[in-house]
Amino acid sequence: MEMAKNREKEISKQLSYVMRHKPDSIGLKLDTFGWVDIELLLQKMLITREELEYVVENNLKKRFAISDDNKRIRANQGHSIHIELGLTEKLPPTILYHGTAIRNLDKIEKEGLLKMNRNHVHLSSDIPTAKQVGSRHGKPIVLLINCEEMVDNDVKFYQADNGVWLTTHVEARFIKKLND
């Protein structure tokens, strides 16, 4: 199935909003683990199963997961509502990256990386992904995160199904600008 890019983007944005932030905006209720019945979602979003599967399969960030029985869907991470993702603590690589806009740098140098209205701070395992994330919010800068030192200080890390690394806070002392 082919889908027009603007239709794909429209569905992806609405799906992200509904599944990560406001399921009640279309009358949905996620279960404790963030899952919702696909047939109900299709009815509420007024999309076809084929459109949904296309968006899930072609989303570069792999934001969504369909259950093994193909009956439910959930977002992999990025929730601003409380969801139990069932994540297991995992030892991260020595270094991870975080992309942000340069205008955020002063605040980050003082407060570190905060989860803000989300459940976790999101970290990337590669520079291009971090740069892409940062460019969504303005002129990007990539921050290098010293995970080895964080682990030595008992900070916990998790990895979502789509490979994004998660933690609850990154203190400023563990952050360095990539070009430093």
**Greatest Cα pair distance in the chain:** 51
H/E run at residue 29: none
Is pTM beyond 0.85? Reply is: no
Residue 158: DSSP 8-state? E
Alpha-carbon span 108 to 52, nearest angstrom: 37
Residue 102 is predicted with a pLDDT of 94
Alpha-carbon span 81 to 9, nearest angstrom: 23
Domains and CATH numbers, the chain: 5-75 (1.10.10.970), 95-177 (3.20.170.30)
Going by C-alpha positions, the residue among 154, 180, 176, 178 that lies closest to residue 167 is 154
Residue 11 is predicted with a pLDDT of 96
pLDDT in tens, the chain (180 residues): 788 889 999 999 999 999 999 999 999 999 999 999 999 999 999 999 999 999 999 987 889 999 999 999 999 988 989 888 888 999 999 999 999 999 999 999 999 999 988 889 999 999 999 999 899 889 999 999 999 999 999 999 999 988 999 999 999 999 999 875
Residue 6 is predicted with a pLDDT of 92
